[in-house]
Structure 1
Amino acid sequence: MTDHDDHLKKFWDRLEGLNSGMLGLTEDARLVPMSHQAEAETGKLWFITAKGTDLARALAGGDKDAVHVVSDEGKGLFARIHGTLALSDDRAKLDELWSVVASSWFKDGKQDEDVQLLRFDLAEAEVWVTGGSLSFIYQIAKSKVTGDEPDIGEHFTLSF
């Protein structure tokens, strides 16, 4: 396995159990909290939102460069993910992704006319993977005893 393959596996394995982050367009510094569904085999993240949101309205004119930032100390993943965000009318994908959580936002369920699916095609990511919060505590304590700098994990960039 190459370093790139190993890094990709670490990224997707840790992202799998994490379901939210901050999403926005690169042309606008404003990021908003959004839940994502990861699809490692296609290199995509999917989001369910409302057509009336600023983000969905901004995409009405076409696909845009976007960023999604995820952070979870317990999972040991911190990443800034860049790619292209687009509106999607894929009803089969919406059916696949629909959940009790998503239904809480739309009174008519997935048939609600305000439901909008977003597809995020990943281009690259800057990633930090750590051993998680317990490992971090151990590394700090160890550095105090040994005088060595703590080993907080790996930092790498991925291209998709």
Structure 2
Amino acid sequence: MTDHDDHVEKFWSRLGGINSGMLGLTEDARLVPMSHYAEAETGRLWFITAKGTDLARSLAAGGKDAVHVVGDEGKGLFARIHGTLALSDDRAKLDELWNAVAASWFEDGQQDEDIQLLRFDLAEAEVWATGGSLSFIYQIAKSKVTGNKPDMGEHFTLSF
């Protein structure tokens, strides 16, 4: 396995274990917390939101450049992900993604008229992959004993 393949696998496997991040358009500094659904095979993330949100309304004229930022020390992944965010009317995908968490936001469940699916086609990700919180503690303790800087993991960029 090449370093690139290893980085891709590490990114998607760790991202799949993280439930949320901060999503926004690159033209606007405002990011909002959103749960994502990772789809490695297509290089996409999916989001379920309401049609009345600022984010959904801003996409009415078409897809826009966006950023999704995730960080989870326990999973050992910190990433800034760039791509194109667009509205989607894919009912089959909504059926596939629908769960109790999504249902809690919509009074009429999956049939609620306010549901809006968002598709995020990834272009690039800057990734910091660490050994997780226990590794962090070990690396800090080791640096105090040896005087060397701690090894905080890998930093790489992926293009999709």
Task: Provide the TM-score with structure 1 as the length reference.
Answer: 0.99
CA drift at 1:35? 0.1
Q: Which residue of 2 aligns with 1:128?
A: 128
CA drift at 1:4? 1.1
The one-letter code sitting in structure 2 at the alignment partner of 1:70 is V
The one-letter code sitting in structure 2 at the alignment partner of 1:101 is V
In structure 2, how many angstroms separate the alpha carbons of the residues matched to 1:110 and 1:68? 25
In structure 2, how many angstroms separate the alpha carbons of the residues matched to 1:84 and 1:19? 20
Q: Which residue of 1 aligns with 2:158?
A: 158
In structure 1, how many angstroms separate the alpha carbons of the residues matched to 2:33 and 2:61? 22
Matches within 5 A, 1:19-58: 19-58=19-58
Runs of at least 5 residues in structure 2 that lack an aligned partner in the other structure: none
- Give the superposed CA RMSD: 0.4
Q: Which residue of 1 aligns with 2:98?
A: 98
Could you tell me the percent identity over the aligned residues?
87
Give a deviation string over 1:49-73, Cα, whole Å, max 9, x none: 0000000000001000000000000
**How many residue pairs are counted as aligned between the two chains?**
160
In structure 2, how many angstroms separate the alpha carbons of the residues matched to 1:29 and 1:53? 16
Where does structure 1 differ by over 6 angstroms across 4 or more consecutive aligned residues? none
In structure 2, how many angstroms separate the alpha carbons of the residues matched to 1:16 and 1:61? 30
In structure 2, how many angstroms separate the alpha carbons of the residues matched to 1:133 and 1:10? 17
Aligned: 1:115 with 2:107? no
Task: Provide the TM-score with structure 2 as the length reference.
Answer: 0.99
Please give the secondary structure, in 1, of the residue aligned with 2:22: strand
